[in-house]
Structure 1
């Protein structure tokens, strides 16, 4: 009887060890239930700066209702909201083969994951055959394969007639609440086997914060004197810190670091 009882406890212990070994596979309740929230930000984009994806060259010739002039964006931690401001009013029923407004998302600041670093795509698409707009959220693999996470057909409510903008949002819950990510906005038209796309620059989320410091910490310069001073530009959001050396005179020079 004692031997049977001992075997029972051994079996129970093995079950507990098995459950403990499986525990890390499941996320903790409440872990990363939201992404970082932040107030409205704005980026400015040049006009007439499409890229012809057929020949990979810049072109100033394109449909101007797909010319992005600026983007406003903010997040409550659950939804990333953006407004793509356009050069000309949005066309509710364009005559082109395809018209797309979207965003690419690098969900982990890692160029080795996803397709060239792109993990997700959110896109509002016009199909000239069906005469409808749709909104599609896709996950991208390392080799460019896609998996549709959401497809909303006959999509509406993302524009105002006569308005020079498109409203585009991303449900961050479908992207597993990224904590540090990058977004690139775009608008494009496909016609006659040619696709012309207007890309913005990548933006870091949460918004990038830079800390600028000098070495030595205190700098004293007299009239006519020149000194070599080390200026450190340190990013808090995943970029490589950059160290720049320059000559200082009476006028402090502005430094830009990418």
Structure 2
């Protein structure tokens, strides 16, 4: 796996022109605190309009909350597998931003990024046809264990989207457990071998293209993803229609970032 990028090695943008150039070239950028002096919302307004999230608010606090100790969820300290944000969105947010208030002092909790289209080009011909042509039902319970759920059936690479390029959607959790935000019961179905969507998929991994995609993405991330510890006071923004992201596990309960979605 790539080593995490130290702040001295990050291409920290000190002008908005530089941020836009990096975002276009590599799909992500980190804004220096000086660019946020007029307010985070004003800075983000140079990239798009802030839109509401699952909770109906336009911000989401990415920090540890009780009740999610066993789940791959943003408000746990657990690792989260490769995914794009809101694959059930039509369209999903174009940009995702994380404003770091306090990074984990344990040296973990990396935001890991990889180019989704480069990942697709690494697949065999059969899977490449699958991601371009086969509609997939994406499903997201709005919070693990709750009843509210959104679904959308669309190919992983959605060429019907408006704009000059297709939208890439992906969810490790969805492809293994049947939901972007799986419940504890869905996860335990895998570990116990109980009959469930997830365990059935695991058992037929050699035949199920979604399971194969999840496993291949996890392997791809180990060798190709860029792991970044966003420094305190900085803001990271990336192209959610192009990049897959993930998070490594961490132990520091004081880690705190605020998430924004932009269109």
Does TM-score exceed 0.5, indicating one fold?
no
Query: Between Structure 1 and Structure 2, whose CA radius of gyration is higher?
Result: 1
Tell me the TM-score normalized by structure 2.
Answer: 0.21
